[in-house]
Amino acid sequence: QVHVVESGGGSVQAGGSLSLSCAASGRTGTRFRMGWFRQAAGKEREFVAAISWSGDNTYYTDSVKGRFTISRDGAENTIFLQMNSLKPEDTAVYYCAVSEFGHAANYARTIDYDYWGQGTQVTVPS
């Protein structure tokens, strides 16, 4: 079983920045493709960003391109999401996701991931 733990989040004024972290443990010697999703109140969970197991490839949903940056620790299954120029529409619970069995070409659907964190709230008041 892979254990996924997020940290970070909070509340920040529009235009501000926040950083999220996520650590996955439970598979010694295995590096995972990992990603971030978010779910606003009353809406479906949506893809935000993903990063390949090597860190060489990153993917973003259009609404966060140029504002958010996903990165990973080179040696560990730890990823980060740096969020700049935050907007009220970024308000959501952010979830870290880990893909152990998914195909490398698929990264933007919830079904592409096998393990999830508990979520962390990000609030940007309007």
| Cβ neighbours around 71 below 10 Å, total | 14
Share of the chain above pLDDT 90, in %: 84
Q: Is the pLDDT of residue 74 over 90?
A: no
Dihedral sign, CA of 2, 91, 122, 20? positive
Q: Is the pLDDT of residue 105 over 90?
A: no
Burial (Cβ within 10 Å: 0-12, 13-18, ≥19) of residue 103: exposed
Instruction: Round to the nearest angstrom and report the end-to-end CA distance of the chain.
Output: 40
What is the structure's pLDDT at 101? 85
What is the structure's pLDDT at 106? 87
Tens of pLDDT, residues 3-45? 999 999 999 999 999 999 999 998 888 889 999 999 999 999 9
